[in-house]
Amino acid sequence: MRKTTKNYRIQRLIFGLFVLFIWLGMMYYSRDVFPVDGDMKRAQLSWWNYLSVHGMQGVVTIGKDIDADYTSIWYVIIALFGKLHLYPNLPVQYCIKMMAGFFTLLSSIAAFYIVKQFSAKDSWKPVITAALFLFLPAFFLDVIKTNLPDSSYIALVLFSLLAFIKKKNWLAWLILGAALPFKMMGIYFAPFLFFFYLRDFKENFLHKKWLEIVSPLFGIVGFLLLSFPGILAGQSFSDATIGTLLSRSAVGGLNYGFWDLLNAGKNWNWMPNIQMEQVADMAKFGYLAMILSFVILYSLLFNIKSIERQDELSLNLLVLSPLICWLFMPAQHEGYFALATVFSVILFIIKPCRKNLIIALLLNFILIEANHGFYRVLGSASSYEYLIVGIAVYQFYLVFRESEVFEHLKKE
């Protein structure tokens, strides 16, 4: 038995190393593939050049001297590339792809340990998951598009989920907070953590589990920790923390999701053409719709009798939360729902069934199309948005049919 277990372990290790070697080769041969007119050339190349000259001091002055509007943690990382003489000795696309590859590997490792929590000791699932993650659209296309990588926040969110699974809620909130300075899309994971915080609050209070009660505050600590390098470089507390995030998170348009389905444009009279002066109020409308969606979803989950079934169905929040946020929040871009695609794959591996497979395939297909501008297969963004709405409604239904609300309605 021991020999067999050891043999399986060696086989899994060889398989994992083989896939890793192949992936590294693919990354190497795609090193010069990037969008010629993408953000790297249009905006970020000037940041790299500026910070390679000015170093850490440039973190303070970059926003004043040139057009730069990212959070300080990215400027610190770029300055470190210059400090280590990686840039400009290496082309900027190599440096950005190195960052994306690093965070992809971190995500793969996190996925390995997440699935390991739900697998038998000698299961192949963890190593297969880790291998698969290297090639998921959320990561592989992140490398190809050669922009400051979204895999940064996804990796941290995955480690936050791992901490939650290991019942270290304070750590889960801390890591989630650390994800936000990289990309604010990390906040899409917060409704999942918040549901369990609300559900367990009474028990934690009765048993005086103070660390659990204050655990969301660790999100602020994590956020400040990742903002601290900017402060050390000389930025003001405001600029290093909320200043840039507020400006980047300001209402910039209602381009995708619910807004695209609502907005008729200029060529149709029976639905509104949302004007720029209406955007701010409609954004508040969207936030209220998002809050209502989560209140309904939480209420349905709280009305499930079995704690085991409640725990199982609450996993739908992993997919639903990013979709709801993307559908209703302003200033969204095509692929901002990427976190849902990653979680859909994890859910299928943990619980392989037809519905989880279909949802994972559909969401990853839509993400690929999002990176191509939503026009190649179905011809319009609204077609893909209706698919996302359908997936979200179906996930709602899965929770609804297990709730006592559904039981009462059946009896009436």
pLDDT, residue 243, reads 73
- Asked, for residue 62, whether it belongs to a domain, the answer is no
Assess contact for 223 and 216: CB atoms under 8 A.
Answer: no
Where b means 16+ CB within 10 Å and e means fewer, 309-323 reads: ebeebbbbbbbbbbb
- Asked, for residue 391, whether it belongs to a domain, the answer is yes
Please state, in angstroms and rounded to a whole number, the distance separating the CA atoms of residues 160 and 177.
9
Structure tokens at 92: 């900027």
Residue 43's pLDDT band (boundaries 50, 70, 90)?
A: confident
Structure tokens at 368: 């690929």
Dihedral sign for Cα atoms in the order 229, 234, 237, 239? negative
pLDDT average, residue stretch 190-206: 95
Residue 266's pLDDT band (boundaries 50, 70, 90)?
A: low
pLDDT, residue 247, reads 67
pLDDT, residue 117, reads 96
Residue 379's pLDDT band (boundaries 50, 70, 90)?
A: confident
Per residue in 179-192, pLDDT tens?
999 999 999 999 99
Classify residue 42 by its DSSP letter. I
How far is Cα of residue 314 from the mean position of the Cα atoms in its chain?
18
Classify residue 119 by its DSSP letter. S
Please choose, from the candidates 71, 69, 70, 94, the residue with its C-alpha nearest in 3D space to the C-alpha of residue 81: 94
pLDDT average, residue stretch 62-74: 89
Please state, in angstroms and rounded to a whole number, the distance separating the CA atoms of residues 41 and 49.
11
pTM of the model: 0.94
Per residue in 288-322, pLDDT tens?
999 999 999 999 999 998 889 999 999 999 999 99
Residue 106's pLDDT band (boundaries 50, 70, 90)?
A: very high
- Asked, for residue 354, whether it belongs to a domain, the answer is yes
Domain that holds residue 338: 250-412
Asked if the model's pLDDT at residue 233 lies above 70, the reply is yes
> 261: exposed, middle or buried (C-beta count within 10 Å: 0-12, 13-18, 19+)?
middle
Angle at alpha carbon of residue 25, lines to 23 and 30, rounded to 5°: 95
pLDDT average, residue stretch 71-89: 94
* Residue-averaged pLDDT of the chain: 91
Structure tokens at 333: 């871009």
pLDDT, residue 67, reads 84
Per residue in 326-361, pLDDT tens?
999 988 888 999 999 999 999 999 999 999 999 999
Please state, in angstroms and rounded to a whole number, the distance separating the CA atoms of residues 132 and 136.
6
- Asked, for residue 7, whether it belongs to a domain, the answer is no
Residues 6+ apart with CB under 8 A from 361: none
pLDDT, residue 301, reads 96
Per residue in 134-177, pLDDT tens?
999 999 999 999 999 999 999 999 999 999 999 999 999 999 99
Asked if the model's pLDDT at residue 260 lies above 60, the reply is yes
Cα distances (angstroms) measured from residue 353 to each of 48, 127, 174, 234, 358 = 46, 20, 33, 52, 9
pLDDT, residue 295, reads 97
pLDDT, residue 253, reads 66
Residue 249's pLDDT band (boundaries 50, 70, 90)?
A: low
pLDDT, residue 319, reads 97
- Asked, for residue 235, whether it belongs to a domain, the answer is no
pLDDT average, residue stretch 360-375: 93
Please state, in angstroms and rounded to a whole number, the distance separating the CA atoms of residues 115 and 37.
38
- Asked, for residue 38, whether it belongs to a domain, the answer is no
Domain count, the chain: 1
- Asked, for residue 223, whether it belongs to a domain, the answer is no
- Asked, for residue 105, whether it belongs to a domain, the answer is no
Please state, in angstroms and rounded to a whole number, the distance separating the CA atoms of residues 129 and 158.
13
